[in-house]
Amino acid sequence: MKLLILNGPNLNLLGKREPAIYGSDSFEDYFKTLQKKHTGIELFYFQSNIEGELIDKLHEVGFLYDGVVLNAAAYTHTSVGIADAVKAIETPVIEVHISNVHAREEFRHTSFIAPNVKGIIAGFGLKSYELAIQSFL
Ligand code: DQA
């Protein structure tokens, strides 16, 4: 099984960015833990701050991989392009958020992506990613 974790803008700063909300672990370290925990699957990771690169990645894996765990970060709330890409591909996508977006500012309550995903996991810290992976197993 091939799964991609796809992270959007500012998530390269995890560990340094607003630790009270997003925690103090870097994603690179957490990703190593995830790989060790899931030796039976091929787990890949890509992060970009650029909307078009996230769309290109969805196109690249979207007819080949078994699943995508997508944290589109701020683009969740703004991007018709990413929402359309999720709809266009065959690979099922799970939307994840580290924080509980519904307990935060109102602009975070809207997800352009949500109607096109298989499911949504939010508010469990970095564990949100692991729960999404488990949903594919
Ligand atoms: C986030 C929530 C978004 O509202 C925010 O823009 C992010 C991260 C989360 O994982 O909690 O960058 O997607």
Distance from the Cα of residue 133 to its chain's centroid: 11
Q: What is the pLDDT of residues 12-39, one digit of tens each?
A: 999 999 999 998 899 999 999 999 999 9
- Among left, alpha and beta (phi > 0; psi -120 to 50; other), residue 96 is beta
Residues of the chain with pLDDT under 70: none
Residue of 48, 78, 102, 108 best suited for mutating to test ligand 1, as the one with most atoms within 8 Å of CB: 108
- Degrees (nearest 5) of the Cα angle 84, 72, 137? 90
Q: Which fold has domain 2-135?
A: Rossmann fold (3.40.50)
pTM above 0.95, yes or no: yes
